[in-house]
Amino acid sequence: MDNSVNMPLRDDVRLLGDLLGQCLRQQAGDDLYQTIETIRKASVATRGEQGTALSSLRDLLSPLDDATLLEVARAFSQFLNLSNIAEQHHRERLHRQHQRYPGDPGGDQGIANVLQRLQEEQISADVIDGTLQDLSVELVLTAHPTEVTRRTLIRKYDQMADLLGELDRPDLTDDELAFRREKLYRLILAAWSTDEIRRERPTPVDEAKWGFATIEQSLWQAVPEMVRQLERELAEQGLPQPPADWAPVKLASWMGGDRDGNPNVTAPVTREVLLLARWMAADLYLRDVENLLADLSMEAASEELLAATGPSHEPYRVILRQVRQRLKLTRRQMEAQVENQPVPEGEGFLRREQLLAPLQLIDRSLRDVGLGDIADGDLKNTLRRLNCFGITLLRLDIRQESTRHRDAVDAVTRYLELGSYADWPEERKQAFLVEELQARRPLIDDSFHASEACSDEVAEVLATCRVIAEQGSEGLGAYVISMARAPSDVLAVMLLQKIAGVSEPMRVVPLFETLDDLDNAEDTMSALLAVPFYRQRVAGGQEVMIGYSDSAKDAGFLGAAWAQYRSQEKLTALFAEHDIPLTLFHGRGGSISRGGSPTRMALLSQPPGSVAGRIRVTEQGEVIRFKYGRPAVAVFNLAQYVAATLEATLLPPRAAKPQWREQMQTLTDVSVAGYRSVVQEEPELVRYLRTVTPETELSRLSLGSRPARRKQDAGISSLRAIPWVFAWTQIRLMLPAWLGTGAALEAAQADPAQNGTVQEMVGEWPFFQGVVDMLEMVLAKADLRVAAWYEQRLAGDDVDLARLGEVLRERLTGTVNALSALTGREDLLDNNPVMRWSIRVRDPYTDPLHLLQAELMARLRQQDGDKVLESALMVTIAGIAAGLRNTG
């Protein structure tokens, strides 16, 4: 680690730690402070070169009473949150200094780096310009079922980061430094005095508001600044400026629209979220217009503008006052609809073009009279926002599981006495759906909704489609079908929209999630394209979603990664053959078992030709906060997406050699078998999960609005992929991320021919390089002794669980050794010193939290309902998540 570059990070961590110590002394007293310090020092000693036994730390924690355990947990958890603030601020600091942050795998490749490489590869300016003009990155914000930090604390943490930025200023006087440190202390004191744990489960509307807040506090500023920086880089490279309506990045959301397995997301909820988004957009544009009103006081104007205003010494303000009034009316109309009150009369803004027209009129006038520099200021920023956010703030996707649509169509056919649609063969289903999609007459009338055939579940599906019809297309994105398995799954959603009277149907996007579904995706889409009606409908473009969470839960990390790669290859070739543009929608999460990886690595490890200037990606709860919660970091990450998409399009990764593909299949066959032999066939795994990990305790946390399970009291198959990852992460076993992969690597390394091929793959194939890099990072966070302690404390003398625990830890050790042999690095992350340092500096604070968590779980299982123990346990869950910077 470069001490000269990263010394400020150490200084910030030390400063925040010292201020927390002062806070603890003042609020909790010297006795508790000394207890915490003793525990911290003992924890450092267990990680030192002498390796003091973990039992010494355990002996300090076991005698503590419940109330003291809570305070100790809070202290260590708070320090880890403060460390995250320091590290995030350090990233901002280095981005400002245009220095590479060594902890970013794959390196920071901004647009300037990519443009330089394109010129070196002799890619013409026309090709670059054309690709950039058509480039489309859409980030889909989703709620996170394991987002543990309360919004009120996030706000305080942001204020702390702002103060760290101010403390970097070299021109501060001693008094100014002291003032800011005092203010920083007060924020730490306020955070310490605030309950860390959300006591009420958020509603889907709450989650949507959280997404709106991220836009308001960060992305509203970041998007125009990102576009400004990109335009400046293009100018410096002598490339043409993009058109005025250029919007390389757009935003969508699942919050309030994702109803798959979430009974709390209903048609009224979706309607409310859509209206609130329009309210928020109007409010944000109103703030912009107020600023423009204050600034655009000049008199000189074009004849075109004066024709609209009449004679005026402040013509721009005349136009802006009219815009302001319409924005205020828009807000009132949205409020009235949300509250089911009479809607005020008048013409609010219903479409983007209505707000765009007066702002463009002002822009043209300023340029016509020689005030282009003024037009390039705040007005241009507002126009950039309008290009990205429209007047709906973001586009809301709808997601529902395929069987819900099948049941709805089945209810219709039974009501019409046509038989049971659900029992029909696929060919008959398709024929019926296509015929009805082309029919001019309505399929059902209002009497259907009052019939016995229309169950509550069917009524909800149809009500959702009526909301789509009512709200119009501008605020809506994709209708995603989870567990899509057949062409009829897609056609059914199209028919349900037609039944509801949707005049501008949402595009229908099949989501292929399991291993079998990914393998069959090409056949499904090929069958759809064989239907002339459908092929004509999607001639302008098709979107397909690739699932990461469920495929990894089904087949393990390596098996899922290869299935996703092959599926994308086949789909790319299929749509190229039909000359239909394809957009791949990646359902990624934060952890590697859910596809999480740095942006550039993720895009450059995709099959060549699969990006093609278009990418759609989910960004989930904690990832949203880390990547977009701060304006400066958001600018960087947005620009990274644009640069990486351009690079992957014009400098695509090399295609896999036939021998690599064959070797990859061999690896995944071994990996999937090894993974499933434990997850599906090990009789004690469910009991181990629920005994040794906090899987059952997660339900006590008021996390997301969606239940952790699809069905109650069922096995692993019913457990959602995200809590499945979260539970193993908490005990540092990280099982979903590596299980099966180690066995595959070991088998390959035992065969000299296979070993040579694998070595070649890791050196030359970006896809496999990405797999190895991500595996290395997650294994660096795994910890055998921590996992063993959970087992010792919670499984007791259970011989069967002890046997399974020993097997899992042996497999983890084998995976680490196999990976070390593959990379040639004895120590994980030898090539990533900052991440290694980040993990090691946190270990003395996460270790006590792990031991505390196991102790609290044991006590709580004996004293169920104890509020102090419950609170302390929730704090440890949140603290460990903060320490690892990863949950599900």
Place of tokens 């990070």: 9
The pLDDT assigned to 103 comes to 41
Q: Clarify whether residues 62 and 90 are in a common domain.
A: yes
Q: What is the pLDDT of residues 183-199, one digit of tens each?
A: 999 999 999 998 877 67
Q: Clarify whether residues 414 and 553 are in a common domain.
A: yes
pLDDT above 70 covers what percent of the chain? 91
Q: Is the pLDDT of residue 100 over 50?
A: no
Q: Is the pLDDT of residue 154 over 60?
A: yes
Cβ-count burial of 297 within 10 angstroms (0-12 exposed, 13-18 middle, 19+ buried)?
exposed
The answer to whether the CB of 853 falls within 8 A of the CB of 789 is no
The pLDDT assigned to 888 comes to 43
The answer to whether the CB of 326 falls within 8 A of the CB of 347 is yes
User: What does pTM read for this prediction?
Assistant: 0.90
Which helix (H) or strand (E) segment holds residue 565: the answer is helix 557-577
Q: Is the pLDDT of residue 105 over 50?
A: no
Residue span of the structural domain in which 170 resides:
1-99+151-194+834-888
Question: pLDDT-derived band of residue 108, with 50, 70 and 90 as boundaries?
Answer: low
The pLDDT assigned to 547 comes to 86
Cβ-count burial of 397 within 10 angstroms (0-12 exposed, 13-18 middle, 19+ buried)?
buried
Per the structure, the count of domains in the chain is: 4
Q: Clarify whether residues 318 and 354 are in a common domain.
A: yes
Q: Clarify whether residues 373 and 448 are in a common domain.
A: no
Q: Is the pLDDT of residue 361 over 50?
A: yes
Mean of pLDDT values over 765-773: 91
CA 739 centroid distance within chain:
24
The pLDDT assigned to 144 comes to 61
Q: Clarify whether residues 826 and 849 are in a common domain.
A: no
What are the backbone dihedrals phi and psi of residue 504, each rounded to the nearest 5 degrees, phi first?
Answer: -120, 85
Which helix (H) or strand (E) segment holds residue 480: the answer is strand 476-482
Helices marked H in 29-120 — which ranges? 30-46, 54-61, 66-96, 111-120
Catalytic residue among 89, 90, 95, 144: 144
Distance CA 758, CA 733 (A): 26
**Which carries the bigger pLDDT value, residue 154 or residue 335?**
335
Cβ-count burial of 614 within 10 angstroms (0-12 exposed, 13-18 middle, 19+ buried)?
buried
Q: Clarify whether residues 802 and 881 are in a common domain.
A: no
Annotation says 449 is catalytic:
no
Mean of pLDDT values over 698-725: 59
The pLDDT assigned to 389 comes to 97
Angle between helices 380-389 and 352-368 (to 10 degrees): 160
**Token digits for 504?**
């501008």
Residue 125 within any structural domain of the chain: no
Q: Is the pLDDT of residue 706 over 70?
A: no
Q: Clarify whether residues 716 and 777 are in a common domain.
A: yes
Catalytic residue among 209, 405, 429, 553: 553
Q: Is the pLDDT of residue 84 over 90?
A: no
Q: Is the pLDDT of residue 521 over 80?
A: yes
Annotation says 553 is catalytic:
yes
Q: Is the pLDDT of residue 127 over 60?
A: yes
Residue 505 φ/ψ region, left for φ over 0, alpha for ψ in the -120 to 50 degree band, beta for the rest: beta
Which helix (H) or strand (E) segment holds residue 612: the answer is none
Distance CA 804, CA 817 (A): 20
Q: Clarify whether residues 419 and 463 are in a common domain.
A: yes
Question: pLDDT-derived band of residue 109, with 50, 70 and 90 as boundaries?
Answer: low
Q: Clarify whether residues 401 and 476 are in a common domain.
A: yes
| Domain final residue, candidates 374, 389, 404 | 389
The answer to whether the CB of 616 falls within 8 A of the CB of 585 is yes
The answer to whether the CB of 412 falls within 8 A of the CB of 453 is yes
The pLDDT assigned to 148 comes to 52
3-state secondary structure of 396: strand
| Domain final residue, candidates 787, 811, 831 | 831
Q: Clarify whether residues 71 and 186 are in a common domain.
A: yes
